[in-house]
């Protein structure tokens, strides 16, 4: 009991809120062609990549910032941001972990991700992204044996241009919406994974994103390709230091699943949420989209969203291949002045496609949470099915919980079912738990965990434990 209390006390404040004092190389402030050329040059990119960026930038100039979302934010001055920032020691990329700046190693150790492989026993390959650059990728040799490519995307652009050229922008084109296009123009680093035909990836792949430098936007790009009959489970974690300013994080994640392939993508998002008065925190405006390109393919998104001042993302599935399956499991928790507008899009194009959406939203304090989702069954998607369930839990009458589903059915052989409920924790349940000796906070924790269980079950084991704790911590102080 005491131990648990101690642990909670330890975790009560945002424990990832420290910043690492490290020398940085930054691109000049502002957004223009010169900066894009600078990024491209420092990454030693081939010309086609630069053209890709410039094309996106041309398009970006024509776009207007969207304003339909529920959480409003002060105008972002895109000219007042750094678009590239990397630790100086990364200029000449270290060949092995031993050469890596000890400060960086220390940072990741503090975050609970010791990069030295010997320290790792649980067999998760990690790609660590620090501001605009990937600092280390572990377990690469082991993965190479299976023919799996897992490396920073900047490296993939140089070493595997064919794959990148073929798939980059195939799911999120450069002509997409405002933030996605911005990302296409200025993205810095991220992970790239390719699972060859018939291979079942022997370990979890994971990326750990860290924002460190101030006044910097992080624009990372992840591309995962699962070739025919392969399987991969991918995890993503994120943290940032506590700062009074709001920082922008606009990532693009593209998944491509070919015939019979399966991708499982899990996120535990714990960016700095701002302080109790809503000052500071990350703007998490992320575009995540998966394409079930082949027959019988499957993409499954699982997310636990507890951090960020504003979360605005809709991990989506385009079910193009016949018999493909899309899944979306989400827990979003907002407390204090956090805001979230999240959900998913399931676009059914192929025959016999199935999708399932389970979304659990919990809002407490002065926060505001919106589930926004689209289920679109096109006229050619015969015999398709969708099931959606979104439940919201409210704590207190200063917070809000909203559900905005868009449901379009153009096929008479297809079925859509949607359910949503909003409620609070019932007095009976609380009473029952307290009667059996739990204090009110524990009782709420237990009930909330039960409420989220359907989603937590979908997470890989190591993540599930962390996520479960995180759910408890995020709601700390919201009861009573």
Residue ranges binding other proteins (CB under 8 A): 68, 379, 392, 394-424
Q: Are 252 and 287 in contact (CB under 8 A)?
A: yes
Q: How far is the CB of 383 from other proteins (least distance, A)?
A: 10
Q: How far is the CB of 415 from other proteins (least distance, A)?
A: 3
| Exposed e or buried b per residue across 231-268, where buried means at least 16 C-beta atoms within 10 angstroms of its C-beta | bbbbbbbbbbbbbeebbbbbbbbbbbbbbbbbbbbbbb
Closer CB to other proteins, 218 or 392, in the complex: 392
Q: How far is the CB of 414 from other proteins (least distance, A)?
A: 7
Q: How far is the CB of 410 from other proteins (least distance, A)?
A: 5
Q: How far is the CB of 416 from other proteins (least distance, A)?
A: 5
DSSP per residue over 322-386, as a string? Answer: TT-EEEEEEEEEE-TT-EEEE--EEEE-STT-EEEEEEEEEE-TT-EEEEEEEEEE-TT-TT-EE
Closer CB to other proteins, 159 or 408, in the complex: 408
Q: How far is the CB of 395 from other proteins (least distance, A)?
A: 6
Please give the torsion angle defined by the CA atoms of residues 147, 152, 157 and 162, in that order, rounded to the nearest 10 degrees: 30
Closer CB to other proteins, 117 or 476, in the complex: 476
Closer CB to other proteins, 31 or 479, in the complex: 479
3-state percent helix, strand, coil for the chain, nearest multiple of 5: 25, 35, 40
Cα(342)–Cα(328) distance, rounded to whole angstroms? Answer: 11
Closer CB to other proteins, 79 or 412, in the complex: 412
Closer CB to other proteins, 235 or 364, in the complex: 364
Closer CB to other proteins, 24 or 429, in the complex: 429
Beta-carbon count within 10 A of 283 CB: 22
Q: Looking at 138-280, which runs of residues are DSSP E strands?
A: 149-152, 191-195, 204-210, 221-226, 231-239, 246-249, 252-257, 262-269
Q: How far is the CB of 421 from other proteins (least distance, A)?
A: 4
């Amino acid at each position: 009991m005491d131990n648990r209390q101690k642990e909670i006390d330890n975790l009560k404040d945002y424990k990832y809120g420290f910043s690492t004092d490290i020398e940085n190389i930054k691109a000049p402030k502002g957004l223009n062609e010169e900066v894009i050329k600078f990024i491209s040059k420092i990454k030693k990119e081939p010309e086609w990549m630069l053209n890709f960026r410039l094309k996106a930038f041309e398009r970006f100039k024509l776009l207007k910032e969207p304003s339909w979302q529920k959480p409003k934010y002060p105008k972002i001055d895109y000219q007042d941001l750094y678009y590239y920032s990397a630790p100086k020691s990364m200029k000449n990329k270290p060949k092995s972990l031993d050469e890596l700046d000890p400060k960086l190693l220390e940072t990741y150790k503090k975050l609970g991700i010791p990069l030295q492989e010997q320290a790792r026993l649980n067999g998760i390959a990690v790609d660590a992204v620090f501001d605009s650059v990937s600092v280390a990728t572990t377990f690469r040799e082991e993965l190479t044996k299976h023919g799996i490519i897992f490396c920073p995307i900047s490296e993939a652009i140089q070493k595997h241009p064919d794959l990148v050229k073929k798939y980059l922008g195939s799911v999120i084109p450069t002509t997409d919406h405002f933030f996605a296009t911005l990302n296409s123009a200025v993205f810095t680093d991220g992970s790239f994974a390719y699972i060859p035909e018939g291979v079942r990836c022997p370990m979890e792949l994971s990326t750990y994103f860290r924002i460190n430098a101030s006044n910097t936007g992080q624009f990372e790009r992840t591309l995962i390709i699962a070739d025919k009959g392969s399987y991969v489970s991918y995890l993503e974690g994120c943290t940032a230091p506590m700062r009074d300013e709001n920082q922008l994080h606009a990532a693009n994640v593209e998944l491509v699943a070919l015939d019979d392939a399966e991708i499982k993508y899990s996120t535990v998002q714990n960016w700095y949420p701002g302080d109790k008065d809503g000052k500071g925190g990350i703007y998490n405006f992320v575009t995540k989209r998966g394409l079930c390109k082949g027959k019988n393919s499957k993409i499954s998104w699982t997310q636990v969203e507890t951090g960020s001042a504003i979360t605005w993302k809709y991990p989506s599935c385009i079910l193009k291949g016949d018999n493909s399956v899309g899944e979306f499991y989400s827990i979003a928790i907002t407390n204090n002045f956090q805001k979230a507008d999240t959900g998913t899009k399931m676009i059914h194009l192929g025959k016999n496609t199935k999708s399932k959406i389970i979304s659990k939203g919990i809002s407490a304090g002065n926060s505001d949470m919106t589930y926004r989702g689209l289920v679109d069954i096109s006229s050619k998607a015969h015999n398709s099915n969708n099931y959606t369930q979104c439940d919201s839990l409210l704590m207190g009458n200063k917070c809000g919980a909203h559900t905005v589903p868009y449901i379009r059915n153009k096929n008479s052989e297809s079925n859509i079912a949607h359910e949503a409920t909003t409620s609070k924790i019932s007095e009976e349940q609380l009473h029952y738990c307290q009667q059996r000796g739990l204090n009110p906070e524990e009782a709420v924790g237990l009930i909330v965990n039960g409420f989220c269980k359907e989603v937590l079950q979908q997470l890989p084991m190591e993540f599930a434990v962390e996520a479960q704790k995180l759910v408890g911590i995020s709601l700390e102080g919201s009861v009573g």
